[in-house]
Amino acid sequence: MNKREQDLSGKTYLVTGANSGIGLEAAKNFASRGATTLIVSRDKTRGEDARQAIIEHSANAQVYLYIADFSLLRSVNKLADSILAQHPTIHALCNNAGGSNAVRTVTSEGFETTFVSNHLGGFLLTMRLLPALRSAAQSGIARVVFTSSYGHKHSPLNFDDLGLSKNYKTLKAYGRSKLMNLLTARELQKRCDDYNIVASSFHPGAVRTPIWTKGGPVARILGIVLKPFMVSIEQGADTLIWLASSDADESVGANGHYFVKRQRAAIAPFASDEAAEKLWNHSIDLVAPYLS
Ligand SMILES: NC(=O)c1ccc[n+]([C@@H]2O[C@H](COP(=O)([O-])OP(=O)(O)OC[C@H]3O[C@@H](n4cnc5c(N)ncnc54)[C@H](OP(=O)(O)O)[C@@H]3O)[C@@H](O)[C@H]2O)c1
């Protein structure tokens, strides 16, 4: 643990997309600082390897693996059930799982894959875990951090076709999902202001993680072009770790905002309050079957 970092003993931190890249790095940090660390992976073997790596790195055995596929709401719903049964108090939720898809596919539940994997799955998890976050917020600040991206500036949302049934492009679908992450943080803050819950989003930089090898040719080419400018995974995870675990005074200022390198940063002009509210209402309708 770095001298300036707070001890997280007695706290419970949850990181999605934690078997790789930025999420794995953040989970190692939280566990090293004493947090009970819940990690989510869609694959049992990759998840168990990550759990072992985190325990080895942190010498903290309180690291628990959950399996869920964020492209399927029923899987996310089951995940929320298991977490709430075992960990009714959660101090930080890091909605970090995400990626891009070369071609448009629709899940068995009828959603475009990037939309549900990067936005709606995390949205449902957040809604379901609100009671656990509120429980933590009774004795301090609970935080929800969304891993967004500079890519959110790609293009505005088209509410008539959020699933991009026409003119699907890898980067358009990805960029819009990252805009949704930013807007969700903003609207969540508005709706949770009374509960001592601080929401935020951030861009990690162009980071040297496996993400560039997973999204098909466009992601691969972009990965090659950006390679000379990429930062390390440690640097990429820094703002996430800071937003999820810095001193109360610092993080209260996060208040629904978007950060780059620990600083509030400019957002796309179309990342408006109106878009945030509209997306929220639309998302609530879509996940309604899972909310009691
Ligand atoms: N790297 C960058 O330059 C960069 C820049 C801006 C934003 N980001 C964002 O940073 C976050 C972390 O990405 P990373 O760069 O660390 O890449 P990464 O190493 O590929 O990590 C992404 C994580 O998300 C998981 N994931 C993806 N889709 C999922 C699904 N449907 N269900 C469950 N888990 C899923 C991945 O699981 P698998 O290992 O099974 O694929 C992996 O654990 C993402 O949200 C990404 O959009 C990254």
141-191 residue pLDDT tens: 999 999 999 999 999 999 999 999 999 999 999 999 999 999 999 999 999
Residues with Cβ within 8 Å of residue 126, at least 6 apart in sequence: 93, 95, 144, 184, 188
Residue 205 CA to ligand 1 centre (angstroms): 13
Among candidates 71, 85, 172, which has minimal Cα distance to 122? Answer: 71
Are the beta carbons of 257 and 200 closer than 8 angstroms? yes
The per-residue pLDDT for range 7-17, each reduced to its tens digit, is: 999 999 999 99
Residue 284 predicted with pLDDT over 90: yes
Question: What is the best residue among 211, 212, 220, 260 to mutate for testing ligand 1's pocket, by most ligand atoms within 8 Å of CB?
Answer: 211
The per-residue pLDDT for range 18-70, each reduced to its tens digit, is: 999 999 999 999 999 999 999 999 999 999 999 999 999 999 999 999 999 99
| Ligand 1 pocket, residue 207 CB under 6 Å | yes
Supply the angle between the helices 73-86 and 121-137 in degrees, to the nearest 10: 20
pLDDT at site 221: 95
Residue 138 CA to ligand 1 centre (angstroms): 31
- The CA distances from residue 275 to 23, 48, 181, 264, in Å, are 28, 39, 12, 20
pLDDT: which is higher, 192 or 147 = 147
Residue 214 CA to ligand 1 centre (angstroms): 9
pLDDT at site 195: 78
CATH 1.10.10.10 fits 12-290, yes or no: no
**Dist CA 23 CA 14 (whole Å):** 10
How many residues are present in the chain? 292
**Dist CA 231 CA 211 (whole Å):** 13
**Dist CA 40 CA 124 (whole Å):** 15
Among candidates 200, 42, 176, which has minimal Cα distance to 126? Answer: 200
Tokens of 157: 């949302």
Specify whether 168 is catalytic: no
Are the beta carbons of 114 and 177 closer than 8 angstroms? yes
What is the Cα 235 distance to its own chain's centre? 17
**Dist CA 203 CA 149 (whole Å):** 4
| Ligand 1 pocket, residue 20 CB under 6 Å | yes
pLDDT at site 194: 74
| Ligand 1 pocket, residue 210 CB under 6 Å | yes
Protein residue closest via CA to atom 1 of ligand 1 = 207
pLDDT band at 254 (very low <50, low <70, confident <90, very high): confident
